[in-house]
Chain A
Amino acid sequence: MKTLVFLRSILNPDAFIVNRRTQQVFVNREEYITNPADRCALEAALKIAGVNGYETDKRMGASSEIVAVSAGPVRVETGLREALALGVRRASRIDLDDLDEAALARTLARVVHLLGGIDLVLLGDAAPDTGGDQVGLRLAEELGWRFIGNACSVRTEMVTFPQPGRLAQGDDEFASSDAGLAAISRAEAVVAVKYLQGGWTEVETQLPAVVTLPAGAIKPRLPGAARLINAFKAKGNVTVLSAAELGLTREELEPSVKVTGRVFPPEREPGRRLKGSVEEIAATLATILQRFR
């Protein structure tokens, strides 16, 4: 079982303010944090791998390895080192910046192939800075893997999958025959719980798969101070992947969508309190509503 977790570095929302009057964003300090949704994905991966507290290395067998990947300049290595402190086995930085979601998905697909043996990709459902929420789905498409979105908890287990044909049709006689037993395949599957309004649903799919989690899905753990210090002091624990190493051409990295401009949403007008009797209020309200027809 090898899991890849994608970590996006975003500007700390506390580090800037949006000034509507001057139509400007003021960055008070250049401070980046790991996308909270991606941190949930990492936590899910650590839970699956059975990484427990600070015994990480001893507990985590080679069969449950986590690889953390980020894309961007050297500063994104901060998040990768924090992931290493949490028990991630390998960390790689893709040395490419300002990729749009299509190019990012293409790039990640190459990383999955290059690293090899990965059967599960976990990442946050969206990045709050760009609002981008397509990377997970596009990546599944690039890889031809199954996809589960909006997962609030993730686990893996061995599941019996009936092969298509007579077995799936519920032919009991066939199922108990030798041919029927041979048609049953047991495979490792990912099981995810998705919360819906007023309830939840549990879905499962065969690996390999891509699963996305929303921010706040799971409370991410904190790294121990000693492991944190060691992860930051160590040299060469983050490998760098270039576009050339991933075999990406200039065309493949070309953004498919171009940002032509950014505007601030219009200022909301203050509400109005209607006065008078019930009839009068209803009449005024009706006139107002008619304007929107």
Chain B
Amino acid sequence: MDFTFKPEHRALRRMFREFAEEELRPRAKEVDRTGQVLPEVLKMMAELGMFGLPFPQEYGGVGAGDTGYCILLEELNRACASTATIVGAHIGIAAMSIYLDGSEDLKRRYLPDLAAGRKIGAFALTEPNAGSDAAGIQLRATLEGDSYFLDGQKMWITNGPIADVYAVLAVTDASLGPRGGHTCFVVERGWEGFSSARPERKMGLHGSPTSALSFDEVRVPKENVLGQVGMGFVTFMKTLDIGRVSLGAATLGGAQAALEAAVRWARIRKQFGRPLAHLQAVEFMIADMATEIEALRSLVYRTAWLVDTGQPFTREAGMCKLYGSEVASRCIDRALQIHGALGLSRDFHLERGWRDSRITEIFEGTNEIQRIVIAGNIFQEAGVRIRP
């Protein structure tokens, strides 16, 4: 057993930390207020190679593996959750789906631009009538000649308003159901009939733009089928597994930032004649936060190790997302409590963290869905199949 990070991963973390502390943290409040991550900041990140971190260098990536990618999201999310979410959706699910199941042609055509940050990616699964019930999507793809025609709606698509490349799941044969009847396509912004709606107004993650997408008989050439026809649902579920590990890493960064803020405040704030740190009620909260964060850290990086060493990780990925989002929300809530009324002030980072964290219990599969995935995986191992 060896729990140490490789020297190159430690070097990456130092670089990410310095970037996040110098470029992201000072802008985080502004990003929240204006609802925009500045394009020049995204450009800096692209130049540092952040947009292609887990992909091999032959596709223009960095080759830092899932561990490197988790370190990136942890460090970015420590400073600015909106920026981390843009990167997470871009790498973890959009570009990742092309990398995992795309043909060599698709990878050569799209990955270098995505990895260099010249193009932004989005992953389009959710629809007005299909959220947790991902198999219930209705966006239809009809084959005519050498092209498919996509018609329908997507909703709540992270990076929807800013992306150039979309991985889209559509129904190619409704009679076959999700396994066999759903196919994944790569669609580009600018293709006729495609449009993204105005950014949604959300409670948190103001700088991470989310929108609906509309497909009005968008012609997609056959070569842009991602993976095999009829296997799109499998590709998407596989991609989400990777996304969930890195989402766990992101929540780890948010929880860690909250703990650090709570410790700083508990050291300087005096009540009843001594710092809060000497009050048992506060000590207990700090101890609980630190314990949960440590457990989460072990879970996330062990799962990243499973990914990098090619072992099954679906169950652990669900746990990363489930536990991570709940730990982060709890830690930020406790840190806010320790700060008292000050925690609610917009001049502080905690109220933003609290708002930003809530969505992590919902997106990339609600926590209820994660519990179903985990339980299903456990029962399957015990020889019981609880889902069709």
**Closest B residue by C-beta to A82:** B11
Q: Is B2 positioned at the interface, with any CB of A under 8 Å from its CB?
A: no
For chain A, the bracket of interface size reads 10 to 19
**Closest B residue by C-beta to A222:** B15
Q: Is A81 positioned at the interface, with any CB of B under 8 Å from its CB?
A: yes
B14, B47, B50: the one contacting A54 at CB < 8 Å is B47
- Do A81 and B49 touch across chains, with their CB atoms under 8 A apart? no
**Closest B residue by C-beta to A34:** B14
B18 surroundings in chain A (CB, below 8 A): 222
Q: Chain B nearest CB: distance from A56 CB in Å?
A: 13
A82 surroundings in chain B (CB, below 8 A): 11
Stretch in contact with the other chain, from B57-65, B342-350, B360-368: B57-65
Q: Known interface pairs A53-B47, A54-B47, A224-B47. Does A229 touch B15 (Cβ–Cβ under 8 Å)? A: no
- Do B63 and A226 touch across chains, with their CB atoms under 8 A apart? yes
A233 surroundings in chain B (CB, below 8 A): 8
**Closest B residue by C-beta to A219:** B22
Q: Known interface pairs A54-B47, A233-B8. Does A228 touch B63 (Cβ–Cβ under 8 Å)? A: no
Q: Chain A nearest CB: distance from B63 CB in Å?
A: 6
Which chain A residues in 49-81 approach chain B with CB under 8 Å? 53-54, 78, 81
- Do A232 and B19 touch across chains, with their CB atoms under 8 A apart? no
Within the assembled complex, what's the spacing in Å between the Cα atoms of A85 and B8? Answer: 11
Q: Known interface pairs A53-B47, A54-B47. Does A225 touch B7 (Cβ–Cβ under 8 Å)? A: no
Within the assembled complex, what's the spacing in Å between the Cα atoms of A233 and B14? Answer: 16
- Do B8 and A232 touch across chains, with their CB atoms under 8 A apart? yes
- Do A223 and B47 touch across chains, with their CB atoms under 8 A apart? no
Within the assembled complex, what's the spacing in Å between the Cα atoms of A223 and B53? Answer: 14
For chain B, the bracket of interface size reads 20 to 34
- Do B19 and A81 touch across chains, with their CB atoms under 8 A apart? no
- Do A226 and B57 touch across chains, with their CB atoms under 8 A apart? yes
- Do A228 and B8 touch across chains, with their CB atoms under 8 A apart? yes
A53, A85, A232: the one contacting B7 at CB < 8 Å is A232
- Do B12 and A225 touch across chains, with their CB atoms under 8 A apart? yes
Within the assembled complex, what's the spacing in Å between the Cα atoms of A63 and B8? Answer: 30
Within the assembled complex, what's the spacing in Å between the Cα atoms of A228 and B8? Answer: 7
- Do A78 and B11 touch across chains, with their CB atoms under 8 A apart? yes
Q: Is B290 positioned at the interface, with any CB of A under 8 Å from its CB?
A: no
- Do A229 and B64 touch across chains, with their CB atoms under 8 A apart? yes
Within the assembled complex, what's the spacing in Å between the Cα atoms of A181 and B6? Answer: 61
Q: Is B48 positioned at the interface, with any CB of A under 8 Å from its CB?
A: yes
Within the assembled complex, what's the spacing in Å between the Cα atoms of A229 and B48? Answer: 12
Within the assembled complex, what's the spacing in Å between the Cα atoms of A119 and B63? Answer: 38
1/0 contact string of B27-53 vs chain A (CB within 8 Å): 000000000000000000001111001
- Do A226 and B49 touch across chains, with their CB atoms under 8 A apart? yes
B11, B57, B61: the one contacting A228 at CB < 8 Å is B11
**Closest A residue by C-beta to B50:** A225
Within the assembled complex, what's the spacing in Å between the Cα atoms of A5 and B8? Answer: 22
Q: Known interface pairs A78-B7, A222-B18, A222-B19. Does A229 touch B12 (Cβ–Cβ under 8 Å)? A: yes
- Do B15 and A223 touch across chains, with their CB atoms under 8 A apart? yes
Most A Cβ at <10 Å: residue of B8, B19, B47, B63: B8
Which chain A residues in 74-98 approach chain B with CB under 8 Å? 78, 81-82, 85
B19 surroundings in chain A (CB, below 8 A): 222
A229 surroundings in chain B (CB, below 8 A): 8, 12, 62-64, 68
Which chain A residues in 225-239 approach chain B with CB under 8 Å? 225-230, 232-233
B48 surroundings in chain A (CB, below 8 A): 222-225
B63 surroundings in chain A (CB, below 8 A): 226, 229
A81 surroundings in chain B (CB, below 8 A): 7, 11
Q: Chain B nearest CB: distance from A11 CB in Å?
A: 14
Which chain B residues in 143-173 approach chain A with CB under 8 Å? none
B64 surroundings in chain A (CB, below 8 A): 225, 229
- Do B11 and A224 touch across chains, with their CB atoms under 8 A apart? no
Most B Cβ at <10 Å: residue of A81, A82, A225: A225
**Closest B residue by C-beta to A85:** B11
**Closest A residue by C-beta to B10:** A78
Which chain B residues in 261-292 approach chain A with CB under 8 Å? none
Within the assembled complex, what's the spacing in Å between the Cα atoms of A226 and B62? Answer: 4
Q: Chain A nearest CB: distance from B15 CB in Å?
A: 5
B61 surroundings in chain A (CB, below 8 A): 226
B6, B10, B53: the one contacting A225 at CB < 8 Å is B53
Q: Chain B nearest CB: distance from A218 CB in Å?
A: 14
**Closest B residue by C-beta to A233:** B8
B7 surroundings in chain A (CB, below 8 A): 78, 81, 232
B68 surroundings in chain A (CB, below 8 A): 225, 229
1/0 contact string of B239-271 vs chain A (CB within 8 Å): 000000000000000000000000000000000
A54 surroundings in chain B (CB, below 8 A): 47
Within the assembled complex, what's the spacing in Å between the Cα atoms of A111 and B14? Answer: 29
Which chain A residues in 193-224 approach chain B with CB under 8 Å? 222-224
1/0 contact string of B219-247 vs chain A (CB within 8 Å): 00000000000000000000000000000
Q: Chain B nearest CB: distance from A182 CB in Å?
A: 49
Q: Chain B nearest CB: distance from A93 CB in Å?
A: 14
Within the assembled complex, what's the spacing in Å between the Cα atoms of A81 and B63? Answer: 17
Within the assembled complex, what's the spacing in Å between the Cα atoms of A20 and B8? Answer: 36
Q: Known interface pairs A78-B7, A233-B8. Does A228 touch B15 (Cβ–Cβ under 8 Å)? A: yes
* 6 chain-A/chain-B pairs, Cβ below 8 angstroms: A82-B11, A222-B15, A225-B64, A228-B11, A229-B64, A232-B8
Beyond the given A223-B15, A229-B8, please list 14 additional residue pairs across the A-B interface where CB-CB is below 8 A. A54-B47, A78-B7, A78-B10, A78-B11, A81-B7, A85-B11, A222-B48, A225-B12, A225-B50, A229-B12, A229-B64, A230-B57, A232-B7, A232-B11
Closest 6 CB pairs of A and B: A225-B49, A232-B8, A225-B62, A226-B62, A224-B49, A226-B49
